Structure 1
Amino acid sequence: MTIRLLTTEEVAARFRTSPATVRYWRHVGIGPSGIKVGRRVLYDEAECDRWWETKVAASLHGSR
């Protein structure tokens, strides 16, 4: 299995938000988990998908 890592900009594009918002989510601990590689933060694509599915499920059930 190959792990695909996304940049902050790619995550932002995927969720139609700004890179600053993705960085904020990471800072406050509400977004997908990031992996620090040198000076860059990368995100596991599968982790981003799981995070999104959790958010959608919570929205459908009326919880936050």
Structure 2
Amino acid sequence: MTETITRPLSTEEVSEATGIPAGTLRYMRHCGTGPRSYRLGRSVRYDTSDVAAWLAAQKAATARGGDAA
């Protein structure tokens, strides 16, 4: 079994990638509403796949218009 391991992202890196302020990501973590995260030592980390899945869920839940015919 071969799995590709990607480097986990910091809060600041997720902020930069998504445009969501780091403080908002911290608040969403506190409320349990943001992308899935975990502690690695003292640091909070996010897996890229979890961030991508959360973004896709947000898009699916809030998308409007653009009917595909």
TM-score range, shorter chain: 0.7 to 0.9
Q: Which runs of 5+ in 2 are unaligned?
A: 65-69
With normalisation by structure 2, the TM-score equals 0.81
Indicate whether 1:41 and 2:44 are aligned. Answer: yes
Give 2:67's aligned residue.
Answer: none
Counterpart of 2:38 in 1: which secondary structure?
strand
Counterpart of 1:5 in 2: which secondary structure?
coil
Counterpart of 2:44 in 1: which secondary structure?
strand
Q: Which runs of 4+ in 1 moved over 3 A?
A: none
Which structure shows the higher strand fraction?
1
How well do the aligned residues superpose, as a CA RMSD in angstroms?
Answer: 1.2
> For the pair shown, which has the larger CA radius of gyration, 1 or 2?
2
With normalisation by structure 1, the TM-score equals 0.86
Give distance in 2, aligned partners of 1:39 and 1:2.
20
Question: What fraction of aligned residue pairs are identical, expressed as a percent?
Answer: 36
Number of residue equivalences: 61
| Pairing partner for 1:54 from 52, 57, 64 | 57
Give 2:31's aligned residue.
Answer: 28
